[in-house]
Amino acid sequence: MAMSTFVLLAASYDSPGAAEADYRAVGDLYRESGLIDTYDAAVINRDDTGKVRIIAKHEQPTRRGAWRGLGIGLAGGALVPLYPGIGLGAGPLLGGAGGAGLGAMAGHVTAGLRRTDLKDLGELLDAGYGGLLVVAASDLADRVERLIRDASGRTRKQLMVDEALVENDIDAVTPNRVLDPDEAYREAEAAVQEAEAEAAEAERAAQRYSTFRSAPDGGDDLVSRLDDLARLRESGALSAAEFETAKARLLGASGG
């Protein structure tokens, strides 16, 4: 499983206009860098009734073909589990041919975050009337974050996604299915709940691994840790998903 590591930047604003200003500044950075095809972003508006709408978005246009059919990228995938009834412009985001695919994407995004991350994101965005989410490559995240200037609050999360698996899952559920909004909501919620359960178990496995062995002389190294993980996988102590999650986090922590 080839995991890609991104940085999810989220910001809350007192007004949607302030969120859009930072959104434009981020877009200018990517255009000037010639990297306009390499990020996802979305601006949301929350009204006095609590209704949330996406009012501006940019999805990576060169993302795999199945993703393009959804009309939204990873940033939108992060919003679906937070706001299952979220709208896009005047209509619902979920529904139509892409509803099941968005549910699949939302599940993968949820699985790529820590259990507390979605709670933090929801609380942050609920604190304002405008919000901005940007999914950036790790090497540009610091530059993007410096452009988020007008926010009343912000946070930064690591997001790990297997892009090929997302593509396969979206492609499997979207080609010949047309869902009404209620069915799409249910499928999205089910996908998110399943991913949350998998992520929770993977974190428990990672915690078990972290206490499995300690280096008596502080001489623990990456190779020996990976060997330990492989032995745990072979013994059945870790499932395939748990093994891949723990390995990806170990490699990420080591800078590998």
Tell me how far apart the alpha carbons of residues 23 and 10 are, in angstroms, rounded to a whole number: 11
Farthest CA pair distance, the chain: 62
Tell me how far apart the alpha carbons of residues 144 and 122 are, in angstroms, rounded to a whole number: 21
Whether 80 contacts 105, CB under 8 Å: yes
Whether this model's pTM surpasses 0.85: no
pLDDT value of position 66: 45
Tell me how far apart the alpha carbons of residues 155 and 164 are, in angstroms, rounded to a whole number: 27
**Residue 129's pLDDT band (cuts 50, 70, 90):** very high
- What is the three-class DSSP state of 235? helix
Whether 180 contacts 95, CB under 8 Å: yes
Burial of 22 (0-12, 13-18, 19+ CB in 10 A): buried
Burial of 2 (0-12, 13-18, 19+ CB in 10 A): exposed
Q: pLDDT tens digits for 78-98?
A: 888 888 777 765 555 554 445
Whether 10 contacts 132, CB under 8 Å: yes
- What is the three-class DSSP state of 66? helix
Q: pLDDT tens digits for 198-251?
A: 666 666 665 655 554 444 444 456 777 777 777 777 766 666 767 777 777 767
Angle between helix 222-235 and helix 181-210 axes, rounded to 10 deg: 110
Close Cβ partners of 164 (under 8 Å, ≥ 6 residues apart):
2, 64
Compare 96 and 15 and report the one with higher pLDDT. Answer: 15
**Residue 34's pLDDT band (cuts 50, 70, 90):** confident
DSSP summary character for residue 139: G
Whether 70 contacts 175, CB under 8 Å: no
End-to-end CA, the chain: 15
Tell me how far apart the alpha carbons of residues 163 and 32 are, in angstroms, rounded to a whole number: 26
**Residue 166's pLDDT band (cuts 50, 70, 90):** confident
Token code pair at residue 161: 């996604």
